[in-house]
A and B are shown apart, each in its own frame.
Chain A
Amino acid sequence: MTPASAPAEAPAPPDLLGTHAPSRAALRCTALAVVAAALALTVAGTLPALGLAGAAGAVVAALLLRGRSAVLDQVLGAVGALASAVALPGLVADAGVPAVSPVLALALAVRQFAVARSVRAVRAVLGLSVLVTVAAAGTAPSNALVGPVALVWGAVLAGLACAVPHRAVDGRVLRRAAGALAVATTVALVLFLLVPASSSGGGALRGLGRGGPGAGEAPVRSAEAYAGGTLDLSARGELPATELLRVPADSPSSWRSGVLDVYDGRTWASSGNPVRWVSGAAGYEAAPEEGASGPERVDDVVPLAPYPAVVSAGSPVGVRTSSRVFDGGSGLVLQDASSPYRVLSRAVPSVEETTDGEAGRPAGLPEDQPKDVARWTQLPGSVPQRVRDLGVRLADGRDPVTAARAVSAHLRSVARYSLQAPVPADGEDAVDAFLFEDRIGFCEQFASAEVVLLRSAGFPARLVTGFAGGEPSGGGRVFRSADAHAWVEVWVPGSGWVSSDPTAGATLVAGGSGARGWWQRLWAQVQRLVERVLADAGARALVAVVLVALLVVGVVVVRRRSRRRSVPVVAGPAVRRGDPAVAALLLALERFDAAVPEPWRRGPAEGLSDWRARVGPALGAEAGAEVAGALAVVERACFARALPPRAELEGARRALESASSVLLARERRATAGQAGSGG
């Protein structure tokens, strides 16, 4: 039974490293996890696309080439780490030193993946990729991270489950992984629910909704901005669901709070209130605005939260309130932001219901042009020629109503609606970026673009801010912060100012069509429910308690079931798990076998006790006895019912390792001696 006698057709000798080396499936999962972590960093804006490409390329190369030689692995690892961190200097310049650590962790993960040779090393890489993902989520929480995060977690779990090659991925392993995932998720949710939300508006979940690329530098939107006389097109973020105003249920859907006319390429501002207010006997009154020819109506407005701007269901002509009122530039401002008021207004028709101003011209016909045409057709030099050309082309020399409809239709067809619209770069015109580059925006972008396009075509137009929609509540209609809106008014000869809302009917980024499917409505419901739960501390605690109870019940049920199932049906060998000490011992045995001179190596079909009897005398009395004892431990570790105690396993491993080093040293001395005698 000498090793040399094994014929060519014999099966390959068992590779003891196999118990220690990771399975191919685990390696693939690890590669996926590392690339997904890099993707998460890119989505979070911490890793430039160049770094992502470098990391992905390095991981794929390492997956294909690793294991050929140790030197190649090291080179692959070093090159991969460099490729991942290639954009680091620019990153430091842009975002400062703290942004470096996730990228460095990624580079480390890529390097470790290339040189990983054992299950333990692979597990470390999996852990690193989780760390990188967590760092990405911490840097810039956004919805776009959901995909990469799910990918990383799935890959990590699968990689952990199938890391050991000879251990089959059975239901037990999968159940254990799923159970761990469920417990971790529940605990995380409970922690999230119980940790009080930060005062800067809405907990982490709210934060997830904010952002998009470059969200860190964008100003945060607020409902007050829609009444403040200026509107920054760079502001991003969702508005809270705070209830602000209650208006009569039968009032028009759009309520305006301000009119903005000056566009500077990035923000809208007002050059003065178009309505002149005077303090009258019955309150504040104004001469009807130029072009405000619609029927008058009276509405009572009740602020549910302090909201200073006076809103009106059209062009305002009078306000009755106990508070003092100022002219805020773009509209009226209350001194006491919580006092209710009664507002008189003239309705503003919409382009959808106006037919070129021919129908029903009331008395006091508006002129063909407003008095101050230059004010309503102002355009800054930052608006590029392509925007102006587009406006002229869309208007096509027709009347303002048709032009406004054409512009709205164009906007709805080319752009999609999302609150996470990209922020235009410095020096870039916001409307140009929206129309020709990003094509994603919300009401501000849609309305600004329509005003700019209409003005390009020579039509007087202006941006109007206020509220739209609202929900019926308590016998009236309630506007929340999230209902803040911006739309367009265009001058129509014969009708005066006519409103146009290009945002209505725009395609959502997520949805395939403008029509909301049942799943979108359901998702909106879920979001509203989650919002409501998160807003209420009591509800949060209640949900946390329910989750904990569910977790406890689940654990008890699973325990019960597994106990009932664990009654042995067949008295087979006890199921045993791979033990790191055993793996280390087998590795030491492999090395010892390699260190032993050729005639004493273990034959492929040689059992340990046969080998023990053969190899002992070859080592000398003391070392031989020690090795024989170690081999007996290995034998028991492999074939006995119970694993030998850990101390015994460790002792055997040490004995084998010291015997290997003694043998290797002896061999080295022998070769050195030969070389010496030869020279």
Chain B
Amino acid sequence: MSHALVEPLPHADPAAAARALVDGVERVVRGRRAAVELLVTAVLARGHVLIEDVPGSGKTTLATAFAASLGADCGRVQATADLLPADVTGSGIWDPAAGGFRFVPGPVFAPVVLVDELNRTSPRTQSAFLEAMEERAVTVDGVRHRLPDPFVLLATQNPVEQHGTYPLPEGQLDRFAVRIVLGPVTEDVERQVLREQLAGNRPERLTPVLGLADLLRLQEATAAVHVADATLDLAVRLCRATRTDARIRLGAGTRAALTLVRCAQGRALLAGRDHVLPEDVQALVVPVLAHRLVPGDGHGLVAEDGAAARTLTQERLAAGVLQHVPVDLRR
């Protein structure tokens, strides 16, 4: 069950291929170079991405443009309050001809899965994604079905509306490699986007720049990027610093440290380097660690000012850790 377009890799250089993917997505998503690079970085690190911003800021466009640039099937789940786990994973259906149940795969069986407004669905359905994200497999009626490889889950969530939402549990947040906060774009960019959209420049029309097999190869190349001891120490100390910070109630765990290093490998590959620099790690601290931090009570902005303020607090805390951890120069 391969969704890959079997094409030769257009670029022998993995860095060039990764940049081509970034450029491919940017054909539609304008003015968000950093966000696109972060998305590609996370995908190179075999991670899942949580995109957070107000409605209408291009979250879904980013996800679909990414899927289209890979030429991959994009499974799409619109999370609502009445969505059931079977709607995500698929279920057994009575087949009169065969005289038995036949498994009909759900939308999660696609290389790129877009879950829109993930925080709108019930915790029960949210947890259906847990197994898929971590183990890259789903179990239906006691049978385990493997998900395609590569498998990327892009989820969006709306931080503004609080009515009828279920905040994602910490365990599920921890399974997203990075959280991308899109933020506003400049006036010029907004005008350009409008012009292009009016002209019919839709993500669905994008031609693929990379096949899924190429993405797999890129992911392998990413895992081979060298991490020096000093760099590894920096990542570990950064994660540990979040745990000792008095302002943080729950810091980043070991999975976060691992994800941080993997994403740093992805960033190094994207920059055309065969080794990770401390700057790679530092640059990824906010996107990788922020959404895993639980601020302490002293920063009780959560209840009053909503999820957006919480996100801001988390990002400030993560950035604050950076300056407290020195960069070691040694061989």
Contacts and interface: CB of A to CB of B under 8 A. Distances in A.
A586 interface: yes
A573 interface: yes
A7 to B, nearest CB: 7
Interface string A1-33: 100011101111110100100000000000000
A10 B329 CA distance: 17
A1 to B, nearest CB: 6
B276 interface: yes
B326 A604 contact: yes
A639 B326 contact: no
Interface string B43-80: 00000000000000000000000000000000000000
A582 B330 CA distance: 8
A637 interface: yes
B229 interface: yes
B13 interface: no
Contacts of B232: 573
Interface stretch (B100-108, B116-124, B149-157, B277-285): B277-285
B311 to A, nearest CB: 23
B228 A638 contact: yes
A578 interface: yes
Q: How large is the interface on B (under 10, 10 to 19, 20 to 34, 35 or more residues)?
A: 20 to 34
A356 interface: no
Contacts of A635: 277
Interface stretch (A72-80, A236-244, A562-570, A606-614): A606-614
Interface residues of A, number: 37
Interface stretch (B3-11, B293-301, B317-325): B317-325
Given A586-B329, A607-B279, A640 B324 contact: no
B230 interface: yes
A579 B330 CA distance: 11
A637 B226 CA distance: 13
A560 interface: no
Contacts of A637: 331
Contacts of A608: 277-278, 327, 329
A516 interface: no
B288 to A, nearest CB: 17
B326 A14 contact: yes
Nearest to A576: B331
B330 A19 contact: yes
B277 to A, nearest CB: 6
Interface in B199-229: 226-229
Given A5-B323, A605-B324, A640 B329 contact: no
Nearest to A18: B330
A507 to B, nearest CB: 59
Given A605-B323, A605-B325, A639-B231, A610 B331 contact: no
Contacts of A12: 326
B329 A638 contact: yes
Contact of A605 (B229, B274, B322, B329): B322
B274, B276, B325, B326: which has the most chain A beta carbons within 10 Å? B326
A110 interface: no
Contacts of A589: 329
B325 A166 contact: no
A610 B279 contact: yes
Contacts of A130: none
Interface string B252-294: 0000000000000000000000111111001000000000000
Contacts of A576: 331
B330 A10 contact: no
B329 A609 contact: no
Contacts of A604: 326-327
A532 to B, nearest CB: 55
A640 B330 contact: no
A641 interface: yes
A634 interface: yes
B325 A11 contact: yes
Nearest to A11: B326
B328 interface: yes
Contacts of A6: 323-324
Interface in A162-187: 166
Contact of B329 (A7, A11, A634): A634
A640 B278 CA distance: 11
Given A19-B330, A576-B331, A639-B275, A10 B324 contact: yes
Given A573-B226, A573-B229, A1 B326 contact: no
Contacts of B230: 638-639
Nearest to B229: A573
B275 A640 contact: yes
Contacts of A13: 326
Nearest to A13: B326
Interface string A621-644: 000000000000011111111010
Contact of A638 (B274, B279, B330): B330
B277 A607 contact: yes
Contacts of B326: 10-14, 604-605
A7 B246 CA distance: 14
A226 to B, nearest CB: 69
A576 B226 CA distance: 13
A641 B274 contact: yes
A153 to B, nearest CB: 30
A166 B330 CA distance: 9
B325 A639 contact: no
A609 B277 contact: yes
A573 B227 contact: yes
A497 B57 CA distance: 126
A610 to B, nearest CB: 6
Contacts of A9: 324
Nearest to B228: A639
Nearest to A582: B331
Nearest to B226: A641
Nearest to A7: B324
Contact of B282 (A5, A7, A605, A634): A605
A14 B279 contact: no
B322 A14 contact: no
A11 B240 CA distance: 13
A605 B328 CA distance: 8
Nearest to B278: A607
A463 to B, nearest CB: 74
A576 B275 CA distance: 15
B275 A641 contact: yes
A643 B279 CA distance: 19
Nearest to B231: A639
A605 B327 contact: yes
Nearest to A609: B279
A432 B327 CA distance: 74
Contacts of B274: 640-641
B226 A640 contact: yes
B330 A586 contact: yes
Given A573-B226, A573-B229, A607-B282, A639 B327 contact: no
Contacts of B322: 1, 605
Contacts of B330: 14, 16, 19, 166, 586, 638
B208 to A, nearest CB: 31
Nearest to A571: B224
Given A638-B230, A639-B226, A639-B275, 8 more contacts: A6-B324, A14-B327, A605-B282, A606-B327, A608-B277, A608-B329, A609-B279, A641-B275
Q: Give me the 10 closest cross-chain CB pairs, A-B, nearest first.
A: A641-B226, A604-B326, A607-B279, A607-B278, A639-B228, A640-B275, A582-B331, A14-B328, A10-B324, A605-B323
Interface of B: 226-232, 274-279, 282, 322-331
27 contacts: A1-B323, A6-B324, A9-B324, A10-B325, A10-B326, A11-B325, A16-B330, A573-B226, A573-B229, A579-B331, A603-B323, A604-B327, A605-B322, A606-B327, A607-B278, A607-B279, A607-B282, A607-B327, A608-B278, A610-B279, A636-B275, A638-B228, A639-B226, A639-B230, A639-B277, A640-B226, A640-B274
Interface of A: 1, 5-7, 9-14, 16, 19, 166, 573, 576, 578-579, 582, 586, 589, 603-610, 634-641, 643
